Amino acid sequence: MAAPSNAEALIPQFKFEKLLNQDQAGRRIVLQGTIADQPALLLAERAAFDADESHLSNFSSSLSHIQNLGDNDIYRWYMAHSGSAQGQPPDLKINLIYPCTDQHLKKYAAQAVRHVTETADIYRHHVRPYMQAKRDQGRLNWVFNILDGRTEQQDVLFRSPHDTTPDDERYLLLPDLNWDRKTLGSLHLLALVERRDIWSLRDLKKKHVAWLRSIVSDIAANVSRLYGIDEDMLKCYVHYQPTYYHFHIHIVHVSLEAGATQVVGKALSLDNIVSQLATMAGDDEAGMDKVDLSFTLGEASELWTQVFLPLKEKRLQ
């Protein structure tokens, strides 16, 4: 074993042979190589951000080679270098929300999390009106801008042909803003349906089973064609509660690490939802609005402060 006095000298002696592995986000790599003709593995992981205020106050001005990947309404995303790094690939993915709202501040702030169960009654009397209020506030303008062809069209990967696809079966594919658009192992796309009568999985009914199966099959075929990925290396899920109340489907590579977007208490497999609907008792109008759904909420979220906390404290019935 190398003595502490010369341990640092070993790293420059590492001779790279091949990339053995890397995580989907590209933050960790495993390199195979040699040191002094002996086999060696080099495992590297990006260090955590320096949280010192003197560093953070200069963070944005220290970025270089900033490249815009896309924007819509108040949302923009970029690739950038954390230093000069001339000739090197970008090492930072940047998202900018400007101007941001108080709701954004609450969403992204560090906060305690609660586990709640939304019954059919709570959904009908409290959550559905909350959804309606958010839609009435224009929270979906950026979604409608995309669907109507006014913005972000350069990022549309696929759009159902209008001349051959019935109105309620049309959708379009976009890259998720958290994907770097090049690493297939971390592929993350969004399918936005063009129909506007389905706000969330709560609106799904038995009568939608055939439509869901058709759209999932079509999505898999198109993503496979676009990226050369076998269909059984893709999975589809939806969020509840979703970030915005227009039905959309997340499509990810099966190798994508289960970060916040796939966590239990937020993500539900679309295949499982379809199976639940198909076997649900009742006629075609039976649906997900009648089941209990459990999920997590941050204490700063409006759903917690306006609905579930008052219910817990018996201030709402």
pLDDT tens for each residue of 17-63: 999 887 756 678 888 999 999 998 888 887 778 888 888 888 888 88
pLDDT at 4: 41
Catalytic residue numbers read: 248
Say if residue 2's pLDDT is above 50: no
**Which tens digits make up the pLDDT trace of 120-138?**
999 999 999 999 999 999 8
Say if residue 269's pLDDT is above 50: yes
**Token pair of 298 as six digits:** 């941050």
pTM above 0.85, yes or no: no
Q: What is the rounded CA–CA span in Å between residue 237 and residue 251?
A: 7
pLDDT at 302: 92
**Which tens digits make up the pLDDT trace of 152-182?**
888 899 999 999 999 999 999 999 988 888 8
Say if residue 256's pLDDT is above 80: yes
Q: What is the 3-state secondary structure (H, E, C) of 180-235?
A: CCCCHHHCEEEEEECCCCCCCHHHCEHHHHHHHHHHHHHHHHHHHHHHCCCHHHEE
pLDDT-derived band at 186 (thresholds 50, 70, 90) equals confident
Q: Give kind and range of the element (H or E) at residue 159.
A: strand 158-159
Say if residue 3's pLDDT is above 60: no
pLDDT-derived band at 264 (thresholds 50, 70, 90) equals confident
Domains of the chain (ranges, CATH numbers):
16-47 (no CATH), 56-97 (no CATH), 110-312 (3.30.428.10)
Contact 313, 304 (CB under 8 A): no
**Which tens digits make up the pLDDT trace of 4-27?**
447 878 888 999 999 988 775 667
Alpha-carbon torsion (200, 201, 202, 205), positive or negative? positive
* Averaged pLDDT score across all residues of the chain: 89
When mean pLDDT is compared over 91-95, 157-161, 256-260, the highest value belongs to 157-161
